[in-house]
A and B are shown apart, each in its own frame.
Chain A
Amino acid sequence: MPIPLTTALGKVVRRAALARGGGSAFPGLFVERLDPSYVRRVLATLPRGVVVVSGTNGKTTTTKIVVDLLESQGLRVFTNRTGSNFVRGVAAALLGAVDLRGHLPADIAVLELDEAHAVHFVKEVAPRYSLLLNVMRDQLDRFGEIDHTARMLQSIARATTDAVVVNRDDPRLGAQAFAEGIVGPALRSYGTSIEVSARFPSDDNLYGGSEGAPHPAPAVYVDDTQLDSFEGDRAQISYAGGAHSARLMLTGVYNVLNATAAIALTRAVLGDDLREPQMLEALSKVRPAFGRGETLQIDGQTCAMVLVKNPAGFRLALSSYDPADTATMIAINDNYADGRDMSWLWDVDFGSLRAGGVTTVGGVRAYDMALRLQYDDVPVGGVTPDPERALEEFLGATTGQDKRIYCTYTAMLAIRKVLGTKGALDKVIA
């Protein structure tokens, strides 16, 4: 079916779905059924091809940074938004971006894809570049085990035509065997200096107890981008024999590593055409993605929302933020999108919260969380499963204090909604 026809029909369906308040799932499904090769053919028109970003943690933030960095180079970038990181979501996002003739006004596409969806996607559309972030245990456990997840990322790399950028510090992605299985595209990597690596425990470090052990990379990568050091909001990132200092609005050690990943990818895409000052300037202006280390202003105090999805992410978040002088709330839901299994909370060490305690514990599984804190000797102020009441209690108990809320995905949505309706939210400041 010709692109303009599918586009016209798809846009009608999309408009109808939007008018009824529906999401992007149906229009995406409609296009997929009507014209299975539509996504492939539209993306094939992009002069600089497709970038796939995949891995367990940090996809959304990293994709956002990559988009900003590529735009700083004058490229027009098409991207899929949060929550639609599957093939159908890409189709739906395309319908919103193409003109009536089905022409996509972009130079390059940057797509965040779940590992399992990416495997199918790359069979349809061979990415020119892929960025592989990490393989972590995830309580959603959609794939059974992480060795299997690593194999999925390898098949994404194999389907890539020009360059694959890999987190060399990840024990599975940085392994010799992983790299050896990728023939064809150039192999590039990013990672941290030995000094900084102690602040990035890998998944195996978390479980095996050898947290912070330095991890030398295999010597198979033709090009490295490295996070040398960071302190406060300043990071030093080096590549091609030079070190570069950047000031960041992003908070959290893992976001600084995501920024390093984004630089590595941008360098791979631009090659010698890279305009470095513009890239570093753009990097300093990147704001966190929705709910991922966002800072809000509530009644004159700052309130940081920190999304926690799995044990490695939660531990990194706890080690990223100093709990001193900040009131803490934790909200844990167990809806499908959060993962039903609470076991993961037992793989997170909450010892850093012992001194200050946790003012309020909320969410459907608030008592599971309170129980977890009890076993780490962390004092708990109150336990209130209902998110709205929990938030009210938290705000009431912490007037005049800065606040930080660790929350799972659906708990974050509930809390954001309450903040919006209460008018408690002055503004989003970072």
Chain B
Amino acid sequence: MVRGMATEASTTPATARVVWRRYLAKPTQEQIVLLVTLALIIGFSVALPGFATVANLLNLAKSVSILGILGLGMAIVVIARGLDLSQVAIMAVSLGIALTLMTNGVSTPVALLAVLVLALAIGAINGLIIAFIEVPALFATLATTFVAFGLGRLVLRTLFIYAPPTATGLFFIGQGRILGIPTPIVIFAAAALIVHWMLSRTSLGRFLYAHGDNPEAARLTGVAVRPLAVIQYMLSALLAWVAGIVFTGSTASMNLQIIYSTAIFDTILVVVLGGVSLIGGRGGVLSIIAGTALIGTLLNGFTIMDVNSEVQNIIKGVVLLAAILLDNRLHPRDDETARQGD
């Protein structure tokens, strides 16, 4: 033990080299993804004129901010070994209702807070079904998606809902700039910092990782797993609401059609790509930033190169497959603690 402490305490060049070699020998997925992103950025900067400008890079970041915020919410749930397929539905339905309220004269902050309550309620329902009725997260959140969509269509009647011109605060969030940086990027950065603080510095974060790593052990050591489930899905819903505000701010509308588009799979792509393993217990905010950066760079490059949309979808699919395979190799499924629906 003394020798071990001595080795840690001393920083001889030999020890440092050993530490470095161990570090580089098994790179984490975030590092791999960040390296690939860097390679792509360098490649595109050389091949595509106009890519490596501040304006374009800000555009790139702005276009994936919403995906990033949703990814943060999904990461919280996936780290705890869950899955939230209802995020996009919560985002679309709650903001659709908010826009309708605003058009009918309700003030913007009141409308947004009212639908925050709705979003949190749906998140809580998700958590309650998964924790108490013990339905696997995949099926529970899928069901909630359909229910939310149906309710949304019933209440809203149309698929496209438009913001009234008076919602200037909303437009600032979507289209404005703070200190020269587009507001969506600022909001993504702020959300990332808060989630990072929560995951790494609070006991809630520790419990999420514990539950993701080994749910049974977490339960046996006294972690309140059921309230934990409810809280994590409510947090995911909260971030979906934030993403929705940025969405409606930038497009001045909400489109219920996105619930049945590939948006939710793009979110899972960002999460898995960045290194938040689907078996839970690892990854963090850096993973989301890495995944979002890679997807954003790819999409931006494709748009500048005017690549056919079907080819874009194929490449996104291949990237997702590669990420899952890499995830499988680096973090094999722990059969002792795996559950149905994993």
Do A and B originate from a single complex? Answer: no
